Amino acid sequence: MMFRPEKMSLLQCVVLDQDMMKACNFLVRRKVMHLIDRSIFHPIGRETLSSELMGAQTSLEKAESSLRKVADWLGAEANRAMRPFEGELAPVEASKEISEGLAALLSDIEALEEKKEDFYDREAELKRISDALQSLELAGVSASELRGLKYFECVTGTMPLRFVPELKKALKNTLSVSEIRKLGSKDVSVIVLMIKEDADTVRSVLKSVFFNEVEIPEKYSVETVEAMDEIELELWMIREEEALLKKEELSLRSKARKLYARWKVMLGAHLRVLEAMKLFGKTASTTYISGWVPKKVAERIAEELSALLEGRLIYDISCPEDAEGEASSVVRSGAATVPTKFDHPSFLKPFEPLVTTYGYPEYNGIDPTLFVAITFLVLFGMMFGDVGQGLIFVLLGAFLAFNKKLAPLSDTGKLFMCVGVSAIVFGFMYGSVFGNEELIPALWLHPAEDSIKLIASAIFVGTLVLTLGILLNVWQAIMRKNWREAIFGQWGLLSSVFYWTAIALFYYMVVRKGTLSIGLAVAMLIVPVAAVLLGDIVWGLVLKRKAIKEALLAAKEEETEDEGLAEQLFKPVEIILSLMTNTISFMRVGAFGMNHAVMMSVVYILADVGGGWSGPGASGSSKVSYIVSIIVGNIFVMLLEGLIVFIQCLRLEYYEFFSKFFGGSGVKYDPLRVDDV
């Protein structure tokens, strides 16, 4: 039944320790059990994980940091080959495979990176020597000649270009000669010839301007051309080695990517299950597994598990609705909360996030998804009625919904399609196609021309939504057998009577100009409000006499009595003010409907500037400008107003509709599973 969360049952199983992992694998595959802590039934003072499993968990947690190193090395490639976890869960074996495999893989990666670094260092050093030799050649000397100097010393190296002025200024005070050659946009090659007595001073100056000295090895102390050829040969050999190293790196990356994808999901799956096992109960040789499963499959799940374990299973199934059984007992005591699982047909799935963003309905409450779907679409269409723009929403939604590469956005796409259809329907009602109200006739009204009728209609829709909220609260209270809330609650039956009495009086006396004595009108409004005010007293006198004695005992505490009285006196005021402001709040639906029409008319006015499509000054360029303006204007309105209208619809749902009956304090149904890791 789509008006209430799916019925759940409490399934409690006792399995032998030797069958625990087999039972876990079964539950993971079936994805039906929302685990709860076994200790709420029978506290057991022993760890729920064996020392072997605890060791596996510790090993897997340590492996996480090592796995992140692999991910950092792979970069964007890391998640390319990710697939959901498949296979049997075996924590001990998995921890061993991942730990040992990671150690070997990281060792290979480290060795590869060391080789790369060595190649880069050798290549960079040879290039620096080559630059120094080229500078010497341009200066007309060779390295061998400089080595033979007796009273002079020569230094070669590179430095940042921006410090050259400082270098020249500092060298003026020394007996030295420098030769500077630009290497690129940021660096220069420098040769400095100095007398040996000034060598220390010059080196100190060079150090202050970030000079990197390049020492030319003795083997290159030959003719410069010959030395350059030898360096070029060595660079060519290094590049050959680097080419081979790149092939090795590609092979290692391919291997690492596959292993990372496997280990990532394997690690996540096992850690999730190991954490879930801490909810199990434990004795010397048995394990207790307890959780909520859908009532319609509970018996079948237990039977399948029993068959899998060849009868080595004791189980019990109980329902929270039954007076007897542990499910009812733990729920009444507050030790456990029944999770909420939606049971919706596919066409309601896209609207679930609109509800769950606010909260989950209580298990014994009303599932408002169907009502949200209807009211949301009506409100959106009234505020954003346009055939053309609605069609764009439908096409965009279809692209998101049926594109396999965008599978996570499937429900979002379907929601876009739904609101697009709503916009199309109201677009025909308004006679609007991309803001043009002349292409098709309006089946109902033109928002900008019939503003009073549109706002009145919006208020009428608002009264229906508010009434629906109150009636749902009454229905929910009756299901919970909370008769006081159903009749005398703030949003009980009497509140609905007062609301529609006020609406009827307003319509008769203001709209229809009918005559009715003020005294009678006031009396008609006061009766339901007074009934709400005196509801607790009436309830105590007529239906709950025992409550009077408890209230008299509690009345001895003066502060408590005054606080309760103040709350009772304020309740009718709050009802009146809330219903009034909530009703007026729906005027925004009509206002946004008019706003949409006005914004689109502005788009067409701006498009006509400069000649337009068929004006007296129309030309080829003005027609192109007209089309571009219409397209840009429609995109702007769809993005801006579409977002605003969506937010306003959510606001009306959450603050006006949900506030009447929906607490949102339910617990999400979260069965044990690993396919989403």
Read off the amino acid at residue 42.
H
Rounded to the nearest 10°, the torsion over CA 197, 200, 203, 205 is -90
pLDDT, mean of residues 239-258: 88
For residue 303, is pLDDT > 50?
Answer: yes
Q: Which of 29-43, 163-177, 541-555 has the highest mean pLDDT?
A: 29-43
The reported pLDDT for the residue numbered 559 is: 38
Q: Flag whether pLDDT at 553 surpasses 50.
A: no
- For the chain, the domains span 1-44+278-343+669-677, 49-121+235-276, 122-234, 369-660
For residues 339 and 668, the answer to whether their CB atoms sit within 8 Å is yes
Which two tokens mark 610?
């400069």
Distance of CA 501 to the CA centre of its chain: 45
pLDDT in tens, 93-111: 999 999 999 999 999 999 9
Whether residue 554 is predicted with pLDDT greater than 50 in this model: the reply is no
Q: How far apart are CA 510 and CA 432, in angstroms?
A: 33
Average of pLDDT values for 183-195?
A: 85
The pLDDT tens digits of the residues spanning 309-320 come to 999 999 999 999
Cα–Cα distance measured from residue 541 to residue 529, given in angstroms and rounded to the nearest whole number: 19
Name the residue among 520, 526, 518 with its Cα closest to residue 494: 526
Residue 333 to residues 34, 40, 336, 430, 669, Cα–Cα distance (Å): 19, 10, 8, 56, 20
Instruction: Say if 1-44+278-343+669-677 and 122-234 have the same CATH topology.
Output: yes
* Nearest-angstrom CA–CA distance, 193 and 209: 17
CATH architecture classification, 122-234: 2-Layer Sandwich (3.30)
Give me the mean pLDDT over the 413-435 stretch.
Answer: 96
Res. 524: pLDDT tops 60 = yes
Residue 376: predicted pLDDT: 97
Mean pLDDT for all residues in the chain: 86
CA 411 to chain centre: 14
Candidates 467, 436, 410; CA nearest to 630 is 436
Q: 1-44+278-343+669-677, what's its fold?
A: Alpha-Beta Plaits (3.30.70)
Which residue is listed with tokens 């079948």? 300
Residue 287 Cα to chain centre, angstroms: 36
3-state DSSP of 573-599: HHHHHHHHHHHHHCHHHHHHHHHHHHH
